[in-house]
């Protein structure tokens, strides 16, 4: 028996939404469960007014980043426009489609006292010919029901009388997505249509058109298994919005999320593998995934949880791999890809590979994304400590003993052996002389040298930075504190 054939059909009207990525991933799981499964990538570009080529490139790049390689495609739905309109003509000749020249205002005027939504069927029997201003409407049966067998939601019944005669093509002949998808799914021999729950109301319409095409083409094709996935919501349990929420997959790539961690997290949105572990290899997800196990309930896209999971993945990387995968954020001039929304504050000439390799194990334990690495190590490569007025005010300006700490540090660090153990011991001692614990003593030194109140371990950082730069920065902070 042939393996499943699934399709992912995104519209290139914006950045690649995390909900779309989850849908693509679940389709990909189903395809990969069989040696001869097929994953089709179809770009749904029928809305010419909203499509942009860069969005197509973004979708393809994001899917490649996540490891979801298409077996067929990507191809444009518009490539088959003539085939789509051919289906319209067949259906119209057989009486399944009629012409309608009603404007929305005309429909509203006729239905002034009728609160039932949708088109009223006024042109159903008028026998209009195609022409300017006349759209193509599908003639929905007045009686009976249309049953959607949904792998996630079970059997969902729609009363045909509540489905309006819907438009399938504009007067220009441009075919709308509902019929285009049916034609494409039949041609591509799609066995499973897995998509978001917002498409559920379209499904009975597509089943009706599917069966009509069976009739007019004398080619009976099995209706696919449908599965409508739960919506993704934010922490207020509102549907994720492009205007309000961080939903662009490209943004998470730029921030430095690992594709394997991101895919792992997406797999847990509405479904979970057996056991209690949340860090799950994609191969195991493929093995265990079942549409019938997908939840009906909305799934919370928790950015904090995603970041935590990504941090776990980062900490498990071999150090050499961590260093290499940091490259787009710390030395982008040497990589084929770099994040679009950021670049390091240092030049290629300022970057010191050896120094970064020394800092890498200190940083790896403390970051949740690769995008956080640059701020952890920038003080090593810059000529002076980064300026953070709030950090300076808190650690040095607001503490009357901070100047004494810095004065003592300059004196003691000038003569001390430059190793972690000695620097630690010297700092403890000078703090005790001032009645301060180690945390209070480290704070002004860290801020003076790194420009921040938090960061990698202080004494290891001082060793990498070197004695001369450390003393210069301590003195600079002292001078600033006197202004």
- E strand or H helix that includes residue 74: strand 72-76
Q: Answer for the pair 297, 312: CB distance below 8 angstroms, yes or no.
A: no
Beta bridge partner(s), residue 100: 135
Strands 167-169 and 192-196 come out as unpaired
Strands 38-43 and 72-76 come out as parallel
Q: Enumerate the H helices of 33-174 as residue ranges.
A: 53-65, 81-93, 104-110
Known catalytic residue: 242? yes
Rounded-to-integer distance, Cα 167 and Cα 137, Å = 4
Q: Answer for the pair 182, 215: CB distance below 8 angstroms, yes or no.
A: no
Spatial CB neighbours of 262, under 8 Å, sequence gap ≥ 6 = 66, 249, 252, 306, 310
Q: Enumerate the H helices of 169-247 as residue ranges.
A: 177-187, 203-217
Q: Which of 239, 242, 290, 305 is catalytic?
A: 242
Rounded-to-integer distance, Cα 20 and Cα 4, Å = 20
Strand runs labelled E in 287-440: 299-300
352 burial level (CB within 10 Å; 0-12, 13-18, 19+): middle
Rounded-to-integer distance, Cα 268 and Cα 337, Å = 28
Phi first, then psi: give them for residue 432, nearest 5 degrees: -60, -35
Residues catalogued as catalytic: 242
């Amino acid at each position: 028996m042939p393996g499943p054939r699934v399709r992912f059909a995104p519209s290139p009207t914006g950045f690649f939404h995390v909900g779309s990525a989850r849908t693509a991933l679940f389709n990909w799981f189903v395809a990969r469960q069989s040696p001869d499964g097929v994953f089709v990538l179809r770009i749904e570009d029928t809305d010419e007014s909203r499509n942009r080529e860069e969005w197509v490139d973004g979708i393809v790049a994001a899917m490649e980043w996540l490891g979801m390689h298409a077996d067929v495609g990507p191809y444009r739905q518009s490539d088959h426009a003539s085939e789509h309109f051919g289906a319209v003509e067949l259906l119209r000749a057989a009486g399944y489609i009629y012409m309608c020249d009603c404007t929305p205002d005309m429909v509203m005027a006729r239905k002034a006292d009728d609160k039932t939504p949708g088109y009223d069927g006024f042109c159903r029997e008028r026998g209009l010919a195609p022409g300017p201003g006349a759209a193509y409407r599908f003639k929905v049966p007045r009686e009976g029901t249309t049953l959607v067998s949904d792998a996630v939601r079970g059997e969902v019944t729609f009363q045909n009388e509540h489905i309006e005669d819907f438009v399938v093509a504009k007067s220009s002949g441009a075919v709308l997505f509902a019929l285009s998808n049916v034609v494409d799914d039949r041609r591509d021999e799609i066995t499973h249509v897995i998509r978001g729950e917002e498409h559920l109301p379209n499904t009975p319409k597509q089943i009706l058109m599917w069966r009509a095409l069976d009739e007019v083409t004398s080619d009976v094709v099995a209706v696919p298994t449908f599965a409508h996935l739960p919506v993704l919501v934010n922490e207020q349990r509102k549907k994720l919005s492009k205007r309000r929420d961080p939903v662009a997959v490209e943004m998470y790539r730029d921030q430095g999320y690992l594709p394997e961690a991101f895919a792992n997290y997406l797999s847990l949105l509405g479904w979970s593998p057996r056991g209690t572990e949340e860090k799950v290899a994609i191969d195991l997800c493929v093995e265990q995934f079942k549409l019938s196990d997908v939840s009906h309930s909305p799934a919370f896209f928790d950015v904090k949880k995603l970041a935590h999971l990504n941090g776990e993945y980062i900490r498990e990387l071999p150090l050499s791999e961590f260093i290499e995968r940091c490259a787009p954020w710390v030395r982008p001039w040497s990589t084929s890809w770099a994040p679009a929304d950021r670049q390091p504050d240092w030049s290629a000439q300022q970057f010191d590979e050896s120094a970064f390799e020394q800092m890498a194990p200190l940083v790896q334990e403390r970051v949740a994304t690769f995008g956080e690495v640059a701020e952890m190590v920038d003080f090593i490569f810059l000529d002076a400590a980064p300026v953070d007025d709030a950090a300076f005010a808190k650690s040095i300006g607001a503490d009357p003993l901070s100047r004494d700490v810095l004065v003592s540090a300059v004196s003691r660090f000038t003569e001390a052996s430059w190793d972690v153990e000695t620097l630690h011991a010297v700092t403890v001692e000078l703090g005790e002389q001032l009645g301060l614990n180690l945390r209070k003593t480290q704070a002004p030194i860290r801020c003076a040298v790194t420009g921040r109140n938090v960061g990698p371990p202080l004494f290891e950082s001082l060793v990498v930075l070197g004695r001369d730069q450390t003393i210069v920065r301590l003195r600079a902070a002292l001078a600033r504190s006197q202004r």
